[in-house]
């Protein structure tokens, strides 16, 4: 029987579609990459264990309405250094943190930029929160390359860093950002009356409901610094950072705490990745990944840290090498602060590509428990938490 041409075409398309669907159904799904650890002395990732809130008294979301002048909120703010063109990534981060935490506590957002914020940026970010938003321009003297820095040497060293594969090695704005995050941000006039902060960057994710005031937790439990992810750094970006630090501590032994009270062994470990310690001239390169940090600015404003930062600043390594705020903050905390005042926020699910902190908690969604990275296997060796657990613990 003759079939009209349109009917034959439809029948052929249906047959092709059916074959395609059968082939798709017969294919095996790709295996899910299970969380794992590469170090035999850390037999299981602590994030595979059931995760609870920190012990002790916690402030719940009572009386935290944004218009309540008598709320339990303390002098704290969420902080972000961000450019106008990163507004969509910033909205992503805000949406996650507001959903999981800040819609309950209504702490203000304070945004920093070396240029004035656009109206688009302000409109989009204000739409994501009921809390106040502040838009601050960084003073030129806080952002500019210091006058004692040799610009010819910066260009030459930047080229060497870039040729050696150091990420952002020849991007001067990245060096300026690292310096500002290391020792300038807490001097901004907008933060004069702020003590605690939660640093948030664009394009990060938060996965777990947090039902207590983290700033109150830091204050009530005498914590200085809170982190989620703990990594090794690239030693070729900081060959002189540890030697310069040792020169500072020799000149200022009064700032050091007893080694038994600090995380110094975590800073100096050379057993797990000896090549890092060797290339960084005595520094393990372990650091808190500072794109997430909840901290007490009184530590950065202390005489010990100010003296240390000023010493490093004069040495020039923020520009001649690529000293980052993460290792600078971490070294200072490891030498000048009691290790009991540093807290792992294991209950806060967090991602900054390509790394995760994924707790085992019914309060978390979208984050597979115990996952450290969804990238290639070689990234697992960048995990420095085993050292932290070994030398400090899980507090």
Q: What is the pLDDT of residues 147-202, one digit of tens each?
A: 999 999 999 999 999 999 999 999 999 999 999 999 999 999 999 999 999 999 99
Mean of the pLDDT values across residues 95-116?
Answer: 98
Q: What is the pLDDT of residues 107-124, one digit of tens each?
A: 999 999 999 999 999 999
DSSP letter for 64, please: -
DSSP letter for 9, please: H
Q: What is the pLDDT of residues 260-294, one digit of tens each?
A: 999 999 999 999 999 999 999 999 999 999 999 99
DSSP letter for 102, please: I
Decide if pLDDT at 18 tops 80.
no
Q: From CA 22, how far away is CA 193, in angstroms rounded?
A: 65
Chain centroid to CA 384: 14
**Any idea which residues carry the catalytic annotation?**
293
* pLDDT for the residue numbered 301: 98
* pLDDT for the residue numbered 2: 52
Task: Report DSSP letters for 315-376, one per residue.
Answer: HTHHHHS---HHHHHHHHHHHHS-GGGEEE-TTS-EEETTEEE--B-TTB-SS-TT--BSS-
C-alpha separations of 347 from 43, 226, 359, 368 in Å: 20, 12, 6, 13
Place of tokens 């739409």: 127
Decide if pLDDT at 236 tops 80.
yes
Neighbour-count burial of 312, counting CB atoms closer than 10 A to its CB (0-12 exposed, 13-18 middle, 19+ buried): buried
Kindly indicate the confidence band of residue 29, based on its pLDDT and cuts at 50, 70 and 90. very low
Kindly indicate the confidence band of residue 14, based on its pLDDT and cuts at 50, 70 and 90. low
Q: From CA 313, how far away is CA 311, in angstroms rounded?
A: 5
The answer to whether the beta carbons of residues 246 and 280 sit under 8 Å apart is: no
Residue 232: which H helix or E strand, with range?
strand 230-232
Mean of the pLDDT values across residues 97-106?
Answer: 98
Q: pTM for the whole thing?
A: 0.91
* pLDDT for the residue numbered 245: 98
* pLDDT for the residue numbered 30: 44
* pLDDT for the residue numbered 39: 57
Q: Side-chain half-sphere of 373: how many Cα atoms within 13 Å?
A: 17
Decide if pLDDT at 1 tops 60.
no
Kindly indicate the confidence band of residue 66, based on its pLDDT and cuts at 50, 70 and 90. very high
Kindly indicate the confidence band of residue 41, based on its pLDDT and cuts at 50, 70 and 90. low
Q: Which of 47, 36, 42 is nearest to 367 (CA)?
A: 47
Averaged confidence pLDDT in the chain: 93
In this prediction, what percent of the chain has a pLDDT beyond 90? 88
Mean of the pLDDT values across residues 309-334?
Answer: 98
Residue 123: which H helix or E strand, with range?
helix 119-126
* pLDDT for the residue numbered 17: 58
């Amino acid at each position: 029987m003759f079939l009209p041409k349109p009917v034959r075409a439809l029948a052929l398309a249906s047959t092709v579609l059916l074959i395609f669907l059968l082939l798709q159904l017969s294919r095996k799904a790709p295996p899910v990459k299970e969380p794992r650890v590469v170090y035999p002395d850390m037999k299981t990732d602590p994030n595979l264990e059931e995760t609870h809130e920190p012990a002790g008294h916690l402030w719940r979301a009572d009386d935290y309405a944004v218009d309540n002048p008598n709320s339990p909120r303390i002098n704290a703010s969420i902080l972000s250094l961000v450019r106008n063109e990163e507004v969509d990534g910033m909205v992503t981060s805000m949406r996650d943190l507001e959903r999981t935490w800040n819609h309950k506590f209504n702490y203000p957002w304070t945004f920093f930029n070396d240029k004035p914020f656009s109206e688009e940026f302000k409109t989009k970010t204000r739409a994501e929160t009921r809390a106040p938003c502040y838009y601050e321009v960084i003073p030129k003297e806080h952002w500019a390359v210091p006058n004692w820095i040799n610009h010819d040497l910066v260009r030459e060293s930047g080229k060497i860093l870039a040729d050696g594969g150091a990420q952002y090695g020849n991007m001067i704005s990245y060096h300026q950002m690292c310096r500002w995050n290391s020792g300038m941000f807490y001097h901004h006039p907008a933060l004069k009356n702020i003590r605690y902060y939660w640093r948030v960057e664009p394009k990060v994710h938060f996965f777990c409901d947090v039902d207590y005031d983290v700033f109150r937790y830091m204050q009530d439990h005498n914590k200085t610094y809170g982190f989620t992810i703990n990594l090794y750094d690239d030693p070729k970006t900081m060959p002189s950072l540890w030697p310069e630090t040792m020169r500072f501590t020799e000149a200022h032994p009064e700032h050091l705490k007893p080694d038994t009270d600090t995380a110094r062994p975590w800073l100096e470990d050379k057993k797990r990745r000896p090549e890092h310690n060797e290339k960084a001239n005595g520094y393990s390169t372990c650091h808190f990944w500072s794109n997430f940090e909840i901290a007490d600015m009184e530590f950065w404003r202390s005489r010990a840290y100010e003296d240390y930062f000023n010493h490093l600043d004069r040495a020039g390594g923020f520009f001649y090498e690529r000293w980052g705020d993460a290792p600078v903050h971490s070294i200072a905390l490891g030498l000048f602060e009691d290790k009991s005042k540093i807290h792992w926020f294991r209950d806060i699910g967090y991602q900054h590509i390509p790394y995760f902190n994924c707790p085992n908690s019914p309060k978390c969604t979208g984050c597979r428990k115990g996952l450290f990275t969804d990238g290639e296997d070689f990234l697992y060796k960048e995990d420095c938490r085993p050292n932290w657990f070994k030398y400090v613990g899980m507090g």
